[in-house]
């Protein structure tokens, strides 16, 4: 089973925290896009699940401490051309929103990077948290991203990567 996250939420109860941890302990795979980097900034464990917090400051994080810039043209370089998420995709341009002032957690596998001054270098990654495979793609703010053929292929590849992994678990 796949859990897909896009929007950002700040308030989280203890029961919801436990539910997230149970998802990862039971091996439910997680796909995070764009805004989800800003979710639950006061819960430091969520940063570890996702692979990084939006603001770099010490926990609890404040959404106001991060930086973003709308409507920038980003050259995305493929970090790992052999990974299933980036398979068949070459370096590409995307008109999107970038986040900077983020920290990347230890243990991620880099997939995508950019050198734009208004965006963090790491633009996409994967990791394992407990028993869950996690993919995060920074892009995806609006229709400019979702009409980009390479970005659409990244999402398809991410879904297929997780779906194949789940099928392998059943075999």
The full set of domain ranges for the chain reads: 2-170
94 vs 165: which has the higher pLDDT: 94
Closest CA to 38 of 72, 67, 73, 70: 67
Q: How far apart are CA 33 and CA 123, in angstroms?
A: 10
What's the pLDDT score for residue 110? 96
Main-chain dihedrals φ then ψ at residue 152, nearest 5 degrees: -60, -40
What's the pLDDT score for residue 48? 93
Query: What rounded mean pLDDT belongs to the chain?
Result: 87
Question: In which band, very low, low, confident or very high, does the pLDDT at 65 lie, cut at 50, 70 and 90?
Answer: low
Which strands, in side-by-side order, build the sheet including 109-113?
2-5, 29-33, 132-137, 122-129, 109-113, 67-78, 92-100
Architecture in CATH for domain 2-170: 3-Layer(aba) Sandwich (3.40)
Residue 64: pLDDT over 60: no
Q: In this prediction, what percent of the chain has a pLDDT beyond 70? A: 87
Total-model pTM: 0.88
């Amino acid at each position: 089973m796949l859990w897909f996250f896009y929007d950002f939420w700040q308030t989280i109860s203890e029961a919801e925290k436990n539910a997230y941890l149970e998802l990862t302990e039971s091996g439910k795979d997680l796909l995070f896009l764009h805004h989800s980097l800003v979710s639950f900034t006061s819960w430091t464990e969520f940063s570890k699940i996702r692979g990084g917090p939006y603001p770099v400051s010490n926990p609890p994080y404040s959404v106001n401490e991060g930086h973003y810039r709308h409507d920038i043209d980003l050259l995305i370089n493929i970090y790992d051309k052999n990974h299933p998420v980036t398979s068949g995709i070459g370096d590409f341009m995307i008109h999107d929103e970038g986040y900077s002032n983020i920290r990347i957690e230890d243990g991620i596998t880099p997939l995508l990077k950019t050198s734009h001054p208004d965006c963090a270098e790491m633009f996409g990654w994967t990791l394992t948290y407990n028993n869950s495979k996690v993919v995060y793609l920074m892009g995806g703010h609006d229709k400019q991203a979702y009409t980009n053929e390479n970005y659409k292929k990244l999402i398809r590849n991410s879904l297929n990567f997780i779906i194949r992994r789940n099928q392998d678990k059943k075999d």
